[in-house]
Structure 1
């Protein structure tokens, strides 16, 4: 029954809300949270979604299609239909009990696609396209682990997913979203089967002590912020990479193989769609060995020589540019230590490797430090080298060291900008966000909710046009955003116009 209840902004009305259950009973046992999962209990639910043109079918039929597809998809992802439980020893599990997920149908009939894509800043009303606003992941003990919200627009539809961050990372999130779209499209056999095994070093005997009432986020959710999408075309990314690598840019219309096979982000191992076990093939192995030999040497005199020829990836070049430009916009004193934090996928870094579609969090956060003076007085290449060195050296030994460090002091993840000099990069331009075709075409845009946003939180999305283009969702204080927008080094690479 339609309801007059108003959601988080005036032009959005709640039409219906229900629970969707898996269409088959789960046979998956309890899944213990790992050392990558547990720190996320203090983080908000992930909120990401896709904007589409209006499909050529009545809204009632669309809602039925999505509910049915979601029910079928949950059969492949039983963890999402479960709940968190903590046993008497303090261990936290996902109990795959088929308790179901939330499904919300909302109407924002006065909002047009242009109202979302045209403004310079991301409109505040986009935050209303997601359920579980500011919900902390620990609450998965008594709330659904997943909620899907479908919002009707005047000329489109937005499908938003909110998923418990202690249960999924970005890789698992987008695998679910892609599979949901596949099933709704009528695919009989899904392309990427999730792996729920819990037999790696990430599964630990250490216990995270939870405070009474559960953990809370470690940043203020009320600070004034601006949020803007900066678009970087393929051409701009290639020019930036050439500048970072001190090369003259030559537009030959091709991306090099290393970029295509994984250097574009912090994930150098990309499986094929139909292979859940092996990397792309011999070329990837050759490139992995070349990269290891070229850029993974320890610091010292040999490193200075090696760094002259070390290949800096497109994504690391973009991160270095952002590090410099935001630091400049913040007007920090030269002696102030800045930090650029990146998340790396450890599925392929562990020995033995995890499955590419291992379900859960399999990420570790790498901080890189430098004084504001060094970041601004040295060139783009130097900044990129600092990031590159940390990423390329994050091997199996480093993953184990991170695990041991956490086991010695179990703690939730300290998300935020605590001293005004931090930048946190999340998401990845490698995630298949635009593969979410539910049957009437790929998304027009990707947007996120209010979750886990603070001054200095950046999220990287692939550009809709593909080919190595990147969109950065940048969240900054109003003063810093104004400085970034007037930074010529940064803005020279930004594409004009909306999506």
Structure 2
């Protein structure tokens, strides 16, 4: 496959269909630390649309303009007032729209199961742009790249303006509008009245902050896919081969079993319900009759599917890095605070509402204990991150306002970003769901992992893994890890 970059066809500015009616939006204590991070770069790969490319470009521009009316912050710019407070000025300055051509690249090239081709990095605009630069660059850029047998729609968005939840709400709304929706299903909430809005001022160096990791370090990138069946097998192992009764409960417990995703549809083959759902139904009947099986005495903590997967990765990467047993390792996870705060934020709260939770353990402990022990360390930290902890994080930041130090500073860190709960495949611009989700160059360093839902749904997960070349080689030869990977 040719590694030739896409050819630029055109660049234009798209403005909101209607003028903004909201004022300046103050950046929060979750937004401000992201000023030193790259813009978010995520996009979707689609089959060839049933229309000429010129017609597609016109249609997408029109849909983007209409979508920006609902997301005016994305068409604005950052500004700093005389007191040092930073805002999004919703001034209708517009967004970049790029049309590029890469008809030498096919869907098959991009869907490689063993590596992410370098050409994908060319599917995104504003490469390696730091979020502070939103003061004088667009907050959003959309690039549409024509392929031999498909099209890639990539969005680059300022990370001080959106987190993953807000990003995918915009992306899916963009698709919804392009399909002809008269009313959007998830309007963003631009309220700025929570504890996240602080009187503290972030003092920045002249010219703005820089990223805190090397963008030139040698890395290998690969996507590891895990089927629903593989994840359930892993979860059963982590939970000592038994299912907690919460697996068969109601609400989010049941959804977690089935994948926690709005796009994770339960597959039913030949009219027969899967054995797991049958077990759940039997358990529901037992509960109604008061005859459910009691929890085993040693089975008091439920480990989720995703925590089980994170624990597997933590152990495997630690083995591959070949640390002495005394070396402290860190597994860092981003958590959504919208539902953790009291009072809760709107699920469609626009902006960053995330905090980063580090879990520490020596390499010796990570490797000498079983999978459940590692997962329990992660589980305890996530479970403890409630309203009081979120507010304590805010107070800590207010005492020492600072940008987020993203990177792998001691060589022993893993940073999990994105989420398999994000509805990345819930977008159809009018000719079908995406074939795959891919990302650009942004915020990539040794140990950076991004979790995506698998396209087939049902709780399947794709992990985009960035590691030093020798560490990746070790991970790929680790049978304890690879036995769960699809196709291996």
**TM-score normalised by length of structure 1:** 0.88
Structure 1 residue 248, shift from structure 2 partner:
5.1
Question: Residue in 2 aligned with 1:378?
Answer: 369
- TM superposition shift of 1:397: 0.3
Is 1:435 the equivalent of 2:426?
yes
1:245–1:311 CA contact under 8 A, matched in 2: yes
SS at match of 1:367: strand
**1:493/1:38 Cα in 2 relative to 1: closer, same or farther (>3 Å)?**
same
Q: 1:11 to 1:43 in 2, by over 3 A?
A: closer
* Among 35, 46, 50, the residue aligned to 1:52: 46
1:264 and 1:313 in contact (8 A); partners too? no
Cα distance in 1 for partners of 2:80, 2:321 equals: 42
Q: Secondary structure at the match of 1:167?
A: coil
CA distance in 1 between counterparts of 2:384 and 2:475 reads: 31
Residue 300 of structure 1 corresponds to: none
Matched, 1:332 2:326: no
Residue of structure 2 equivalent to 1:198? 192
The 8 Å contact of residues 44 and 436 in structure 2, kept in 1 or not, is answered as yes
Aligned counterpart for 1:493 among listed residues 480, 484, 487 = 484
Q: Kindly indicate whether the alpha-carbon contact (under 8 Å) linking 1:40 and 1:412 is maintained by their aligned counterparts in 2.
A: yes
The whole-number CA distance in structure 2 between the counterparts of 1:314 and 1:405 is: 31
Cα displacement (A) at 1:315 = 0.4
1:127-162 alpha-carbon deviations (Å, 9 max, x no partner): 000001000000000000000000000000000000
User: How many Å separate the matches in 2 of 1:235 and 1:142?
Assistant: 48
Alignment of 1:114 with 2:108, yes or no, is yes
Cα deviations by residue, 1:37-95 (Å, 9 ceiling, x for unpaired)? 00000000000000000100000000000000000000000000000000000000000
What do the CA deviations read for 1:101-139 (whole angstroms, capped 9, x no partner)? 000000001001111112511001100000010000000
Distance 1:72 1:122 in 2: 33
- Closer/same/farther in 2, CA of residues 264 and 146 from structure 1, 3 Å limit: farther
Shift of 1:424: 0.1
Q: Return the match for 1:222 from 183, 196, 216.
A: 216
**Mapped contact 1:339–1:368 kept (Cα < 8 A):** yes
Q: Is the 8 A contact 2:308 2:375 kept in 1?
A: yes
Distance in 2, Cα, partners of 1:182 & 1:209: 40
What is the CA deviation profile of residues 195-248 of structure 1, one whole-angstrom value per residue up to 9, with x for unaligned ones?
Answer: 000000000000000101110000000000000000000000000000000015
| 1:184 to 1:431, Cα distance in 2 relative to 1, 3 A | same
1:144 alignment counterpart: 138
Give yes or no for contact 2:113–2:223 (8 Å, CA) kept in 1: no
Q: Does 1:423 align with 2:417?
A: no
1:68 to 38, 62, 66: 62
Task: Tell me: CA distance 1:159–1:445, structure 2 relative to 1, closer, same or farther (3 Å).
Answer: same
Aligned-pair CA distance for 1:394: 0.4
Question: Structure 1 residues 75 and 262, CA, compared in 2 at 3 Å: closer, same or farther?
Answer: farther
Would the alpha carbon gap of residues 233 and 216 (structure 1) be closer, same or farther in structure 2, given more than 3 Å must change?
same
| Secondary structure, counterpart of 2:309 in structure 1 | helix
Equivalence for 1:43:
37
Q: Distance in 2 between matches of 1:223 and 1:306?
A: 49
Partner in structure 2 of residue 479 of structure 1: 470
- Call closer, same or farther: CA 1:36–1:271 in 2, change over 3 Å: farther
Take 2:187 and 2:306, find their aligned partners in 1: how far apart are those partners? 28
Aligned to 2:443: 452
Deviation at 1:10, TM superposition (A): 2.9
Residue number in structure 2 paired with 1:401: 392
State how many pairs are aligned. Answer: 453
Distance 1:485 1:170, change over 3 A: same
C-alpha distance in 2 between matches for 1:105 and 1:367: 40
Q: CA separation in 2, counterparts of 1:319 and 1:87? A: 42
Q: Is the 8 A contact 2:261 2:422 kept in 1?
A: no
Task: Say yes or no: does 1:461 pair with 2:487.
Answer: no
Structure 1 window deviating more from structure 2 (113-122 vs 41-50): it is: 113-122
Q: Secondary structure at the match of 1:374?
A: helix
Q: Which residue of 1 aligns with 2:314?
A: 323
Encode CA deviations 1:323-346: one digit per residue, 9 max, x unaligned: 000000000110000000000000
Following superposition, the deviation at residue 261 of structure 1 comes to 3.5
Question: CA–CA distance in 1 between the matches of 2:242 and 2:400?
Answer: 48
Q: Distance in 1 between matches of 2:250 and 2:229?
A: 13
In the alignment, which residue of structure 1 is the partner of 2:232? 238
Asked if 1:247 corresponds to 2:241, the answer is yes
Structure 2 residue corresponding to 1:17, chosen from 2, 11, 36: 11
Conserved in 2, the CA contact under 8 Å of 1:51 and 1:444? yes
1:286-365 matches, cutoff 5 A: 308-365=299-356
Distance 1:256 1:108 in 2: 47
**Alignment partners' CA distance in 1, 2:299 and 2:453:** 29
Residue of structure 1 equivalent to 2:358: 367
Q: Distance in 2 between matches of 1:390 and 1:306?
A: 22
- Paired with 2:373 and 2:176, the residues of 1 have a C-alpha distance of 43
